[in-house]
Structure 1
Amino acid sequence: MLKNVSYLTKLLLAYSTIIGLLFLIFISIYYEVQVKNLKKSSQDNLIQMTSRVSDQFKGVLDEMSRISRGVAISSEVQAAMNEIAQDNAPENYFYFHPQGKSRIQDVIIGLNGTYFNNRSFNVISKNYDYVGVDIYNGVTLDKKALSRITWIRYVLENNISKYISPVSEDMYGRSRNETFSFVRLIQNEYKTYGVIDVQFEKTYLDKIFTMELSGYPVHTVVVKDDNTMFYSTGGAPAGAMEPLVRNCEVGPGSQTIQSMSLDGKKYIVCSTLLNDYDMKLYLLVNTEHYLASVNNTTTVFVICAVTILAALLLIVYGVTQSLYKPIRQLRDNVSRIDYATISVDLQVADTNNEVTQLTHAFEKMLEDIRHATGELMQLRTREIQAYYKMLQAQINPHFMHNILAVIGMMGRQKNAPEIMDMCSALTRMLSYSTDTTQSTVTIQQELEHVSNYLKLMKYRYLDYLEYTLEIDECLKQVTIPKFVLQPIAENCFQHSLQDAEPPYRIIIRGSIDENGWNIAIEDNGRGFTEGAIARLKEQFETVNREIDEGMFSSDFQIGGLALINTYGRLRLYSNGKIRLDLSNTPDGGSRVVISFEGE
């Protein structure tokens, strides 16, 4: 289909496709990241809201419980209620006995104080005699009307110690606002006298549960332990209670976050349990609402991206159009190359400066190719020679392994397990040293290598040498350059311990935490002199300069590793993030610390 399409058109189509795909991938990644971050942030905020409002809601119920309990156990109230226990007259007993009424009201005021806005307190006997404390003006119910209040009758008839009624219209008829009640039996171990009904208006709950997240409403649903609705905010999904109770796992003292569909819309639901009052609290946020900002931002971003893409394509078209003609001429020159001599008769139009520059560059490229071809042949020859030398060099390690194995077996036959142990340790060291497949290893591998070395030195010095390896398990999987620890341990014998009095002690400690890791190699020898430390630090600085200038090489022979080489390889490997510090221990021995700060 594109066979007859011009090169310029193909180029534009390719640029359009690549740039369009890049924009699409970027926008997709941006959208996913923003949605993920916003969802995480919204969930965290919703958990905090749930914790806060559950504490506030519990505080309201705690206050109602405190007042109702105080009234229920009050001896003054029980004494006043006991005086009317036998009275079953149709009239309210307290109409004719104001002293008893005053005693009960004094107890309520003592527990509640003088603040009665949006709340009322009702003491009702088993015969529905009634004492109320509130600031409402108006209706006073008779016994028959009181007996029709469902939660009062339910508590008295079923002898329920306490009961919290759902939010509903005020059955006392004193307020136009909806109310909820905390009802508790007034009783002692011998007798039940009646109930105390602490009633608050719904506005208490509205103040707690009216919330917003990112400018959008957070809906609240409170369900009682018998799966009946206690309270819900306006705008909460209709019929939400049943799927919430069925699908949401609610645990005491914690918040649970999950996504679910309600009324055909997706919501994030945070739930918790008020264990003291057997109530489940659900906070709901419509997913479409909190994602609206991301969707709007992404839409604007897409429009800007399309505009930028169109502008880029116009720029690419103009630039390509201006370059196409000289490139075509260069193509013609390439078609005339004599591949036998790698040369071409260049035809350059003096009036076209751009073509002249391209042609000169092309001529220089041909010259460089001729030189590179010769160098490549020489390099190939050297590579073949090096390969044969490498094959020859491999003979010696294999020979040594075999000989050591034979010596070890002879030691075992002669009942000399120490010989077998030394041969095994030396074999492992040779295998580690001649393995060129790895330039970096784990600290675990380096520890095994230095342990083999110290074991052999232990056989040399016998009881004069003690060594200890104390390394955190988590540190053993950290990766470092090969041949770092053993050269430092060897340096202890060659310098610090050389003229020291035995016994000799070498300790290798390693630890790791959230701030980084470090490995310290210490001995009890003569330590570093001040001059030695100064010279080594000066050489470290020289290594730093050579690395920065590109003149330092980390390709060392196995036998030439020392502190300077170890420092240089650590510097190259970590770009200076791994440090090597020299000092002396308080006892005078040397200390070399390899450390890394960061995650």
Structure 2
Amino acid sequence: MHFQTKIICMYSAFILVIAIILGSLYNHYSIKQYEQVEYKNLKLVAEQLEQNLNESLKQMILITDYILSDIEIIQGIRALNVEESDNEAALNYRNDALVAIRLKLNMDYIRKHFYRVVFFNQRGDIIASNNEGNRIINPSQSTSDITWLKQVENTKGNPVIIDQHKDNWGLKSNVEVFSLVKKVQGSQLGYIEVQKQIEDLKQIFQIARENLGVVVIRDNGNIFYSNLPRDYDAFYQQIVRKLKKDKFIYANPESGNKEMIAFVYCEEAQSTILVTEDISEIKEASAYITPTIILIALCLVAVSLTYIVIVSRHLTKPIRRLREQMENTGLENLKDEISVEQSNDEILALQKSYQKVLTRLDEAITKEKKQSLLQVQAQFDLLQAQVNPHFLYNVLNVISNRGIICGDEVICEMCGSLADMLRYSTSNKNRQATLQEEIKYLEQYFYLLKSRYDYKLSYVIDIQPEVKNQIVPKIVLQQIVENCINHGFENRVGCMEVKVKAWQEGDYWYVCIVDNGEGFKRDILAQLEEKMEEVKKCLESHTSNIQLEIGGMGLINTYARLYLLYGEQLVFELKNKTSGAQVLIGAKRIG
């Protein structure tokens, strides 16, 4: 079997399997997403219905608050609570109260927006709006016949929603209503009932989609409203206790179908609003997803197969010329463009030839890396070797004079410090040291300086434990301090103060060396900055002799050694303070 045929067969099988797997997964995902979207739509419907219900209840509560805040109505209610008397004045006072309440309850807003608003008390007084025609009330209706009155007794004036019931006050007709009742605060002053017809309730829960069911269940388990068959009430009364936010599909044993149920809780009505949809209708609406995905998958398979056939023709044509060019490839012609005429050769020869190219390329790159490393290492050694010997000569003179004059044991300590310094500075085993080792070396240096300058020199070293293990080139800190002593106090008398502080800030460590000397002269500081820029370019080019470019010791030498180690991550700043100079070095923290 030709290689091209193998590629086509293998790729076809692979694409077919992938298309089936991805198509199935995407089909499942799309259906689930459709269900999620449908659930969100049901949730929005439920929230809209909750808003409608809240608005209606707030309207009813508002009218009860309005009535009970009216001074004339409250005075009239209290007048009706006075013991009845045959006294003509008392009867007139009572009649005036009835008239005042009746007038207030029959205002236009109440008559238009409510079926009936009723005030009644246990003395038998009944005053209602719309008391005319078919809505005329039965004045002899006894409050003891009202079954829901017990729900209102101990509510402390809070409004109570009464489920659907027959109008208790109608003389000619007893229509289905739902109402909100509020007890008038005081000793048996009475009650205000605001009624709306069931048609108003249907209007509240009216939705555009006829296939959706709406069920409203009170906290006491009663069905407040439902547009579904009454046979389903028991199921919804039971399921309302098991509703979960992460579950929205439930089996309805009454209908024998699964239903998607979205719900919201209405605090105002103390009710749960359920919006339901039969799963079979959802599946029917999403039936287009599967054939659409199959069609897309087939198109992708066809396009992929066409593409692989075209590509395989180019890949499988012999490439002798390519093999020859690859075998002759070296560092000098790696960038040359390879131009190959299509032919019929096997892939194995190409694999071997390419492997040879990779081997030679790897050898060449390795050789180049070694040469670069040796060059950098030689540059580093050269810079480190340029340690100023003048300090050692001065210290030896001090030790000699001290031994001759004093003959005390201090000379032993000085010799020990000097020996440690010589051992540290002349060791080539390690080209770098930790800040802790550099600080120790610096302390020995300060000890010897104190032996020379005595009270004329004071120093402070403050190093945080977090930066003790950071790596720097050897003898970096001593060179900077030596520069302070040699150049910072040439024309200055008084005590020489040097402060060395090392700390960590974010991902960087810093060492700051400050003296109270003369500071950098402007022209010297400009020359140093210019020289550091030249050194930086020299080190980056890897083409110049660093010794010739840098020459000498001091801050430029220190900068070069640090730059060789840290590159662009190096922080190296020279500046003057109010009194003296400051040198700040730092780099990105390691470890």
TM superposition score category, shorter chain reference: 0.5 to 0.7
Q: 1:217, 1:535 → 2: CA distance?
A: 85
Q: Give me the whole-angstrom Cα distance separating, in 1, the residues matched to 2:193 and 2:297.
A: 65
Amino acid at match of 1:228: N
Please state how far the C-alpha of 1:21 moved relative to its aligned partner: 2.8
5 Å-filtered alignment, 1:195-594, equals 195-201=191-197, 221-232=215-226, 239-248=234-243, 258-263=247-252, 264-267=257-260, 269-272=262-265, 274=267, 278-282=270-274, 296-297=288-289, 299-313=291-305, 316=308, 357-359=343-345, 464-468=460-464, 486-487=471-472, 499=484, 501-510=497-506, 521=510, 523=512, 525=514, 562-563=562-563, 566=566
Cα distance between partner residues in 2 of 1:378 and 1:286: 73
Residue 467 of structure 1 and its aligned partner are, at CA, apart by 3.7
Change (3 A) 1:50 1:311: closer
Residues 1:48 and 1:374: Cα distance change in structure 2 (over 3 Å): closer
What letter matches 2:117 in structure 1?
F
Alignment of 1:141-152 (within 5 A): 141-143=137-139, 150-152=146-148
User: Which position in structure 1 is the counterpart of 2:184?
Assistant: 186
Alpha-carbon separation, structure 2, partners of 1:146 and 1:593:
95
Aligned residue identity for 2:75: E
* TM-superposed deviation, 1:181: 0.8
- 1:107, distance to aligned residue in structure 2 (A): 4.6
CA offset digits 1:88-114 (Å, max 9, x no partner): xxxxxx9x986433321345478x956
2:65 paired with 1:75: no
SS of structure 2 residue aligned to 1:181? strand
Distance in 2 between residues matched to 1:33 and 1:537, nearest whole Å = 61
Equivalent of 1:103 in 75, 88, 100:
100
Structure with more contact order per residue of length (Cα contacts < 8 Å, sep ≥ 6): 2
Is the alpha carbon distance of 1:181 and 1:58 closer, same or farther for their aligned partners in structure 2, counting shifts above 3 Å?
A: same
CA–CA separation in structure 1 for the residues paired with 2:36 and 2:295: 27
The answer on 1:17 being equivalent to 2:13 is yes
Say whether the 8 Å CA contact 2:119–2:190 is kept in structure 1: yes
Asked whether the 8 Å contact 2:47–2:264 carries over to 1, the reply is no
- Residue 379 of structure 1 and its aligned partner are, at CA, apart by 11
Cα distance in 1 for partners of 2:539, 2:26 equals 44
Report SS of the residue matched to 2:61: helix
Deviation at 1:357, TM superposition (A): 2.9
Deviations, residues 197-256 of structure 1 (Å, cap 9, x unaligned):
1123456666665568xx89876543322122223466997555334432136xxxxxx5
Inter-partner Cα distance in structure 2 for 1:35 and 1:222: 29
Written as runs of structure 1 = structure 2, the 5 A alignment for 1:57-96 is 57-58=53-54, 60-69=56-65, 71=67, 75-82=74-81
Residues 34 and 294 of structure 1 are in contact (CA less than 8 Å); yes or no, is this contact kept in structure 2?
no
Name the amino acid aligned to 1:138.
Answer: N
Q: CA deviation at 1:589?
A: 5.3
Q: Distance in 2 between matches of 1:201 and 1:583?
A: 89
Structure 2 counterpart of 1:123, which letter?
F
Distance in 1 (alpha carbons) for counterparts of 2:540 and 2:206: 64
Identity %: 14
Residues 533, 544 of structure 1: CA spacing in aligned structure 2 closer, same or farther, 3 A cutoff? same
From 162, 167, 190, the equivalent of 1:165 is 162
- Note closer, same or farther for the CA distance 1:38–1:75 as it changes in structure 2 (3 Å cut): same
Task: Read off the aligned partner of 2:240 and give its amino acid letter.
Answer: V
- CA distance in 2: counterparts of 1:17 and 1:487, whole angstroms: 60
SS of equivalent residue, structure 2 residue 190: strand
Q: Secondary structure at the match of 1:116?
A: helix
CA contact (8 A) 1:465 1:504 kept: yes
Instruction: Check 1:217–1:177 CA distance in 2 against 1; reply closer, same or farther (3 A cut).
Output: farther
After superposition, the C-alpha distances for 1:329-365 in whole angstroms (9 at most, x for unaligned) are 99xxx9xxxxxxxxxxxxxxxxxxx997344997776
3-state SS of paired residue (2:163): coil
Pair 1:504–1:122, CA change in 2 (3 A): same
The count of aligned residue pairs is 446
Structure 1 equivalent of residue 134 of structure 2: 138
Alpha-carbon contact 2:117-2:195 (below 8 Å) kept: yes
Conservation of the 8 A alpha-carbon contact between 1:470 and 1:509: no
SS in 2 for 1:17: helix
Counterparts in 2 of 1:141 and 1:491: CA distance versus 1, 3 Å: farther
Aligned partner letter, 1:192: Q
After TM superposition, give the deviation of residue 303 of structure 1 in Å: 1.0
Larger of the two Rg values belongs to structure: 2
**Whole-angstrom distance in 1 between the partners of 2:106 and 2:573:** 78
Please say if residues 116 and 135 of structure 1, whose CA atoms lie closer than 8 Å, have aligned partners that are also in contact.
no
Supply the RMSD in Å over aligned alpha carbons. 6.3
Q: 2:183 is paired with a residue of what secondary structure?
A: strand
Report the TM-score when normalising by structure 1.
Answer: 0.52
Q: 1:367 to 1:583 in 2, by over 3 A?
A: same
Q: Which amino acid aligns with 1:163?
A: V
Structure 1 window deviating more from structure 2 (193-202 vs 294-303): it is 294-303
Q: How does 1:37-52 map to 2 (within 5 A)?
A: none
**Is contact 1:12–1:316 with CA below 8 Å preserved after alignment?**
yes
Q: Following the alignment from structure 1 to structure 2, what is the Cα–Cα distance between the partners of residues 455 and 492?
A: 8
* Superposed displacement of residue 19, structure 1: 0.8
* 1:124 equivalent in alignment to 2:120: yes
Q: Secondary structure at the match of 1:138?
A: helix
The verdict on how the C-alpha distance between 1:311 and 1:356 changes in structure 2, with shifts beyond 3 A counting, is closer
TM-aligned CA deviation for residue 301 of structure 1: 3.1
SS at match of 1:164: strand
- Taking a change above 3 Å as real, the CA distance of residues 136 and 297 of structure 1, as seen in their structure-2 partners, is farther
Q: Offset at 1:121?
A: 0.9
Call closer, same or farther: CA 1:271–1:593 in 2, change over 3 Å. farther
CA distance in 2, matches of 1:362, 1:180: 89
Structure-2 change in CA distance of 1:17 and 1:498 (3 Å): farther
Cα 1:217/1:14, change in 2 over 3 Å = same
Letter in 2 for 1:300: T
Displacement of 1:296 after TM fit?
4.0
TM-score relative to the length of structure 2: 0.53
The amino acid across from 1:65 in the alignment is I
The amino acid that maps onto 1:229 is: I
| Cα shift at 1:142 | 1.4
Q: 1:106-133: CA deviations, max 9, x gaps?
A: 45478x9567324531112325542112
Query: 1:539–1:564: 8 Å Cα contact kept in structure 2?
Result: no
Flag the 1:492–1:60 CA change in 2: closer, same or farther, 3 A: farther
Report the 3-state secondary structure (helix = DSSP H, G, I; strand = E; otherwise coil) of the residue aligned with 1:23.
helix
What secondary structure does 1:165 align onto? strand
> How far apart, in 2, do the equivalents of 1:119 and 1:109 lie?
11
